[in-house]
């Protein structure tokens, strides 16, 4: 296993369009996190899954954002009706079931909304 | 909620030692993390402290004082490749596994 992967790495879209990102965590990591990061800021928490259950969701996350992890493996993050303010790096991370203090981050998906 | 404060930018000379401070205010506490992030790349884990004291790992050490809400990351024998952003992140005790990240400290190492 080479680590957390994300697809696509870059996405350019027009305002109002919908976009979907995929994250494949490290095998057997049961915890999966989505973050958003803008320039000069630390990662900002969006949502968290334990297996297929979405256990936490940031209050900052509008109803245009939705995430799924249907089989407890890969996860998708969808943004509907994108806005220019959604432009950011979207990071996915996973951590293991036991001794799970460290989060392993993927390379991110850079979204640009025109 | 949580409030995490760290300097925006620091500069240091190759071969020197640098200390990056982080102060935090949380309603509870369940661990403090340091991550390194090179420009355009994902954060990578450096250290985790949950008890007071110093944790040493090679050239990097991390210190925690829970009573003071204070941590620092110490980098020794600085190398040019250490130029990166260093993120302090704190996890509170609400039973969550989710750390809240600070804005990061951009460290510039010059020859």
Q: Which of B33, B97, B100 is the closest to A31 by Cβ?
A: B97
Cβ pair B6, B20 in contact under 8 A: yes
**Dist. CA A86–CA A100, nearest whole Å:** 30
B102 contacts A42? CB cut-off 8 A: yes
Q: Quick one: pLDDT band at residue A107, thresholds 50, 70, 90?
A: very high
In this predicted structure, what is the pLDDT of residue B27?
83
B96 contacts A43? CB cut-off 8 A: no
The neighbour count for residue A77, using CB atoms within 10 Å, is 22
In this predicted structure, what is the pLDDT of residue A98?
75
In this predicted structure, what is the pLDDT of residue B94?
64
Q: Which of B45, B100, B102 is the closest to A103 by Cβ?
A: B45
pLDDT digits (tens, 9 = 90+) for A56-91: 899 878 899 999 999 889 999 999 999 999 999 999
The arithmetic mean of pLDDT across residues B8-31, rounded, is: 95
User: Using a CB-CB distance cutoff of 8 angstroms, which residues of chain B are in contact with residue A31?
Assistant: 97
In this predicted structure, what is the pLDDT of residue A86?
96
Q: Which residues contact A98 (CB under 8 A, 6 or more apart)?
A: none
In this predicted structure, what is the pLDDT of residue A96?
87
A40 contacts B98? CB cut-off 8 A: no
| Distance from the B106 Cα atom to the nearest Cα atom in chain A, whole angstroms | 9
> Does residue A9 carry a pLDDT above 80?
yes
Query: In 3D, which of A108, A99, A107 has the Cα closest to residue A28?
Result: A99
pLDDT digits (tens, 9 = 90+) for A21-69: 999 999 989 999 999 999 999 999 999 999 999 998 998 788 999 999 9
| Distance from the B103 Cα atom to the nearest Cα atom in chain A, whole angstroms | 4
The neighbour count for residue B57, using CB atoms within 10 Å, is 9
């Amino acid at each position: 296993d080479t680590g957390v992967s994300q697809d696509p790495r870059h996405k350019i879209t027009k305002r109002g369009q919908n976009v979907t990102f995929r994250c494949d965590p490290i095998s057997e990591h049961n915890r999966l996190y989505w973050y958003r990061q803008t320039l000069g800021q630390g990662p900002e928490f969006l949502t968290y899954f334990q297996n297929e259950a979405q256990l936490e969701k940031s209050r900052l996350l509008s109803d245009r954002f939705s995430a799924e992890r249907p089989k407890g493996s890969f996860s998708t993050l969808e943004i509907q009706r994108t806005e220019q303010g959604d432009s950011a790096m979207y990071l996915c991370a996973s951590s293991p079931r036991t001794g799970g203090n460290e989060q392993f981050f993927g390379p991110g998906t850079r979204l640009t909304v025109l | 909620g949580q409030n995490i404060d760290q300097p925006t930018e620091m500069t240091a000379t190759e071969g020197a030692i640098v200390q990056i401070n982080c102060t935090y205010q949380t309603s509870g506490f369940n661990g403090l993390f340091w991550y390194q992030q090179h420009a355009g790349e994902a954060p990578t884990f450096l250290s985790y402290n949950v008890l007071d004291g110093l944790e040493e790992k090679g050239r990097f050490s991390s210190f925690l004082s829970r009573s003071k809400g204070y941590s620092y990351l110490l980098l020794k024998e600085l190398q040019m490749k250490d130029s990166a952003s260093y993120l302090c992140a704190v996890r509170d005790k609400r039973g969550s596994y989710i750390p809240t990240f600070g804005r990061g400290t951009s460290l510039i190492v010059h020859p």
